[in-house]
Amino acid sequence: MAVNTTTYSFLKPVVGGDVNLWGGYLNDNADKLDDLFDGTATVTGIDINGGSIDGTPIGATVRAAGAFSVLSATGLSTLAAVTASGLATLAAVTATTLNTSGLATLASVDINGGAIDGTTFGATNSIASAALTGTINYAIVPALPEANVVGLTAALASKLGATSNAASATKLATARTIALSGGVTGSVLFDGTANATITAVVVDDSHSHVTGNVDGLDTALAGKASTGTSVTAGNGLSGGGTLEASRTITMGTPSAITDDSSNSVTGSSHTHSLSSGSVGTLMGQRAVGTVGTFALLKYSATTISRSPGFSLAGSNLKYSNGQGETVVSPVPTGTWELHGHVKSGQSQDSDVSVWLRVI
């Protein structure tokens, strides 16, 4: 017949016997182990003499400080001393004797399940103090007053308040953009470390001024003609109009000057008189042989008579004197008009007459 172990009553089959019962014993023992590990059954009398938890070595007789990000204790029998700053969660603690003497500070403990001395508690349940036995030492550390921290008041006296303005600063924490708007534009980034200059640009047609606000403008305009002022072309001229646009004055084509011309003007033309004195002056200023000048020239080798008005190329003529004596140079150029008479078949001097250069 099988026997049970002393502490947890595991079944021990008889060696060589209980042939058909071994499977039941193993299943029953497995259930008991499962209860121990999931907290259903109470674990008692465990002595851990070595190993580590979260990298912290532990032993049977020597305490070692442990730094645990998460401390989970299910069925833990005794907590001799726990210092927990920011301890996140104790999921469940079942302890026959919970000894917390020497417990310094539990800054934050969230117990979501378990029991103390048979009293069940959870996140929303309260624990009656009468149900707790043993000694529980705890301390709630309140916020320390400023005066209780040596030197804190003096140190804070030289600091700027969170909402206070600085008396002086060499640089802005955040640089600011200073911008112009309206009739001018421009901007600059300013952080307080140096002077800043904004280059302003005047926006076209963004504003206006009265003439009186522009120095000297009214005086200058007073001497200017209005755009409505008209320019009228007189006799012999054409064109004109108001000054709101460019205007052209055109002189009419003059009439030809004749020996009886006078100084006169019409709507589209004009002419001038010609005095004998002015003609003499003009003729005296012209060079020999030029257009409009007269010369005594000889026309040779003629077989017929020539009357006034006859025209001939200068290359057929020679400069001469009254006796018919000619010179080789210069040779007349251009076209000449006869202003005398040349008779054919006459003596040498009868070929000499007055000629006018016309071309």
Q: What is the pLDDT of residues 297-331, one digit of tens each?
A: 998 766 677 889 999 999 989 999 888 888 989 99
Predicted local confidence at residue 324, as pLDDT: 83
Predicted local confidence at residue 181, as pLDDT: 92
3-state secondary structure of 239: strand
Residues (pLDDT < 50) of the chain are 60, 73-109, 123-132, 136, 138-141
Burial class (CB in 10 A: 0-12, 13-18, 19+), 352: buried
Query: Which distant-in-sequence residues (6+ apart) come within 8 Å of 97 by Cβ?
Result: 77, 78, 134
Residue carrying the six token digits 């460019």: 246
Tokens describing residue 246: 């460019």
Residue carrying the six token digits 């200017």: 224
Distance CA 105, CA 133 (A): 20
At residue 61, φ and ψ (nearest 5 deg) are -120, -10
Tell me the one-letter amino acid at 83: T
Tokens describing residue 198: 């904004």
Helices (H), 144-204: 152-157
Other CB atoms closer than 10 Å to residue 21's CB: what's the count? 14
Predicted local confidence at residue 357, as pLDDT: 93
Distance CA 108, CA 99 (A): 19
The 10s digit of each residue's pLDDT in 279-296 is: 666 666 778 899 889 999
3-state secondary structure of 157: helix
Predicted local confidence at residue 115, as pLDDT: 60
Q: Which helix (H) or strand (E) holds 94?
A: strand 90-95
Distance CA 47, CA 60 (A): 7
Predicted local confidence at residue 227, as pLDDT: 86
Predicted local confidence at residue 205, as pLDDT: 87
Tokens describing residue 256: 């030809």
The 10s digit of each residue's pLDDT in 67-78 is: 555 555 444 444
Residue carrying the six token digits 């532990």: 58
Could you tell me the CA-to-CA distances from 47 to 43, 44, 52, 74, 77 in Å, in that order?
Answer: 11, 9, 13, 15, 11
Distance CA 200, CA 186 (A): 5
Query: Which distant-in-sequence residues (6+ apart) come within 8 Å of 67 by Cβ?
Result: 54, 56
Q: Taking a C-beta distance cutoff of 8 angstroms, is the pair 341, 306 a contact? A: yes
Predicted local confidence at residue 273, as pLDDT: 81
Distance CA 359, CA 341 (A): 20
Tell me the one-letter amino acid at 57: P
Predicted local confidence at residue 283, as pLDDT: 65
Q: Whole-model pTM?
A: 0.28
Tell me the one-letter amino acid at 61: T
49-80 as b/e: b if 16+ CB within 10 A: eeeeeeeeeeeeeeeeeeeeeebeeebbbebe
